[in-house]
Amino acid sequence: MKIIATSLVIPGLFAAGLVLAPQIASAKDAAPREISGQPIELGTRYELRSAVLGDTREVNVWLPTGYDKSADRYPVVYLLDGGLDQDFVHIAGLGSLASLSWTYGPMIVVGVQTKDRRAELTSRPTDPRYLSAFPESGGADRFRRFLRDEVIPFVEARFRSGDRRALMGESLAGLFVVDTLLNDPTLFGDYVAVSPSLWWDDRRPLRDLDRTAAGQGMSGERLYLAVGDEGGTMQDGIDRLRAYLGKQPPARITVRYADFSKSASHATVYHHAAEEALRWLYPAPPYEQGQTPWFMIEGASPPAAPAH
């Protein structure tokens, strides 16, 4: 199914110019002229039946400009909370921006719908307070199996995916991104966690990182980690994660940390952070601007016309 925007009926427009008051009144009373519109395609929506989840999930795919005319392979960004009523449209827009700005490269964006984020994106807590408050939690391993065994093979069998794939998410989805990096790191090569909810389970998994096997399988992955104005146990969890990753050899993990605490809240940090992450992960070759045009130079004049 193609993902389209709703077409609109636009009232008729009056020609510019001077008119008399009676004419204005007459035009105002006239029925508006309908102008036909065409749908705007944003991508393709699939209904993927999952044996792992025992459910059907929406998987939305945005392909880069020129995909159908090339034989190129592209990095794939797997976006958590990627339903049409979630984060798919604005992250697909960042994919489109790559084609317009020439400052980062093209990619395929795959939005994977979540339905019960608290159940699907969290590990099972050990703290009794969290078990009591969130009894439905703990489905992260199953959702990760859904990605590994069903979503990724579905995408790679149908689209020209390249060597790199990324996992992106914010808040509870950012928690899932970090959890995947620490427990199944080679499933993706690139990770984008924006204001991850690392307060989960009173940060217990992060307290024990130096004494557990978490993260031991990392082998050259990249993590973009961003935070808005969070504070409290969330910021403490992020600080603990950074301290642990900072001790790792560069060959195991490369981390880029972006602190938006002075300019963005939890509600506003995602879009800008996601754009910065994509620019870092998939930079485009420098664009040759050519000579500076005359109108950008103080006091310059247009070049003289060639003599005939």
What pLDDT is recorded for position 16? 39
CB contact set of 31 (below 8 Å; sequence gap of 6+): none
Q: CA angle, corner 241, sides to 239 and 247, nearest 5?
A: 105
DSSP string, 121-173: S-PPP-SHHHHHH-TT---HHHHHHHIIIIIHHHHHHHS-EEEEEEEEEETHH
- Counting residues of the chain whose pLDDT is more than 70, the rounded percentage is 90
Mean pLDDT, the chain, rounded, equals: 89
pLDDT of 91 strictly over 70: yes
What pLDDT is recorded for position 241? 95
* Cβ-contact 197, 173 below 8 angstroms: no
* Cβ-contact 103, 87 below 8 angstroms: no
What pLDDT is recorded for position 17? 38
Q: What is the pLDDT of residues 155-183, one digit of tens each?
A: 999 999 999 999 999 999 999 999 999 99
Sign of CA dihedral 186, 190, 192, 193: positive
User: Where residue 207 falls among pLDDT bands split at 50, 70, 90?
Assistant: confident
* Across 270-283, average pLDDT: 96
pLDDT of 12 strictly over 70: no
* Cβ-contact 112, 79 below 8 angstroms: yes
pLDDT of 9 strictly over 90: no
* Across 80-85, average pLDDT: 97
* Across 53-64, average pLDDT: 97
What pLDDT is recorded for position 95? 92
* Across 118-126, average pLDDT: 95
Tell me the C-alpha to C-alpha distance, in Å, between residue 291 and each of 12, 117, 142, 288, 297: 44, 51, 55, 9, 11
pTM: 0.85
What pLDDT is recorded for position 88? 97
